[in-house]
A = this chain, B = another copy of it.
Amino acid sequence: MARIVMKFGGAVLASTEQIQEMAKKAIAEKDRGLDVVVVVAGMGQSANEMKRMVQHLTDEVSKRELAVLMSTCSQQSSALLAIALQEAGYRAVALTGWQAGIHTDSMYSHARIDYLDASRIEEHFTQGDIVVVAGEQGIDDMDNVTTLGKGGAETAAVALAVALDAERVDIYTNVDGVYTADPRYVTKAQQLQEISYDEMLELANLGSHIIHPRAVELAKKFQMPVIIRASRGESVGTLLKEEVEMEKNLVVRGVAFESDIIRLTVGYDAYSDASLADIFTVLAENRINVDIIVQAIIDGLKPTVSFSILKEEFAEALRVLEDSKLSLGFSFADFEIGLAKVSIIGSGMASNPGVAARMFDRLRRENIPVKMVSTSEIKVSVVVPQDDMIQAANALHNEFNLEQAIHI
C-alpha cells in the first residue's frame, strides 16, 4: 500500500479546533487508501510555558533535562491528535520518538538522527492504524530522551518517509507554499509551484522559515519529494524535487532575507596564531551555526576573521569563544549588531557571472551599504544594516523581474 508522511507544525496545532481540522487532513489521505504517518511538533503555548518555568529556575539549563522537559510538548500533541482521529472513527496510535524507532546521538537538545527502526510503525500499518509520531524527539544509545532541535519534526518526517519508502512528505504550515520572496514584505512576490532541493536549501538557510535545511538536505539525499502547503484551504503548495527544468532559464528564482544577524570578529596578534579550523571546530562542536565567514589577512595589519551568526546564538557563541580563548590563541573579539542578510537564489546563477555585479550595483543605487558578501553556486548573500533589509529585498525582487515568475 502506498504511504505518505504528513508533518503538522506547532502553529497549525495551537487549539483543539485546529487539531480537529488537521485530523481531517490525515483522514482524507487515509480515505484515499494510503498508509498514513503524521509527525507533529509541540503546541506552541505549551513549549513557551515550559521555557518560562525553566527561566525561573536557572540561567544555564542542563540540555539533558531540557530534552526530557521539551519532548513532552510534541508527545502531548501526538496524543491529542490521535484522540481526535479516534473520535472521528479511525484507528490511530500515538507514538513517542523512541517508540517510533528514532535513534539519535546524545547531543540532547540538538540531536541528529543516527538510524531509524520503523518496525513498530510497520506493525501498526498492518493493523490499519494512522500513526501519529511525536516529532522533534528520539532516544540515544543510553536510552536517554533527546530532542532534535530546530527543524527536528520536519527532519524526522523526511527520515520516516525514507525508512517507510513513502510516496512523499507533505509539510503543512500557515503559508501557501514557497514564494519568490516573503510576501509580507515584498508585495509583488509570486508563489512557486516547484523548486529544486538546492534552491530550497538556500532559501531555507537564508531565513525563509518554511522548512528547515536539515530536512531539505535529507530529502535531497534520498530524493524524497516534499510538498509545502497551507493547513487552510486547498492550496496545491510548492513541490520540492530534484529538477525544475522549465524554469532553468530564470536566473534568479527568489529573494530571501533574515534579520537579527550579528557579525562577530576575532583578531590575532600574528598570522601564526590564527587557526580558522580550530575556531569553527569549537563552534560546530557546540552546534553554533556560523554563516558567512570573511577572513582578512592584510600585510601590516593584524589578521582577523569575521563571521555572521544569529542573535539568539550570540550569548552562547561568546561563551564558547571565551572558554576557549587560550587554546584558540586569539587576542580580541568584537561584534556588530543590527544587521540583516539579503540573498538572491537561483540554480541558473552559476552560468551567469554578471548576477552578483548586478546585485551590488542595484544596492549601491539604493544607497545600501554592504557589510559582508558570500557566494555559492546558486546564491549571493549580502549583510546589510537591518533598517535597509526590506528596501533591499524589494529592490532586488524588482531588479531580477521576479514579479513575472513563470508558473508551471
Contacts and interface: CB of A to CB of B under 8 A. Distances in A.
Interface string A359-396: 00000000000000000000000000000000000000
Q: Which of A62, A65, A79, A93 has the most CB of B within 10 A?
A: A79
A50 B93 CA distance: 18
Contact of A79 (B20, B69, B144): B69
* Top-3 shortest CB links A-B: A69-B79, A72-B72, A16-B56
Contacts of A96: 68, 145
Given A68-B78, A78-B68, A83 B57 contact: yes
A99 interface: yes
A94 interface: yes
A326 interface: no
Contacts of A54: 80, 83
Nearest to A84: B57
A272 interface: no
Nearest to A145: B96
Contacts of A298: none
A82 B65 contact: yes
Given A62-B83, A64-B93, A143-B99, A20 B57 contact: yes
Interface string A267-301: 00000000000000000000000000000000000
Given A65-B79, A69-B76, A120-B143, 14 more contacts: A16-B56, A19-B57, A53-B80, A58-B84, A65-B86, A68-B75, A68-B78, A68-B82, A69-B79, A69-B83, A72-B72, A72-B73, A72-B79, A99-B145
A61 interface: yes
A66 interface: yes
Given A53-B16, A145-B96, A86 B68 contact: no
Contacts of A93: 64-65
A322 interface: no
A82 B62 contact: yes
12 contacts: A17-B56, A19-B57, A50-B76, A54-B83, A61-B83, A62-B86, A65-B92, A65-B94, A69-B76, A69-B94, A72-B73, A72-B76
A87 interface: yes
A109 to B, nearest CB: 12
Contacts of A62: 82-83, 86
A31 to B, nearest CB: 20
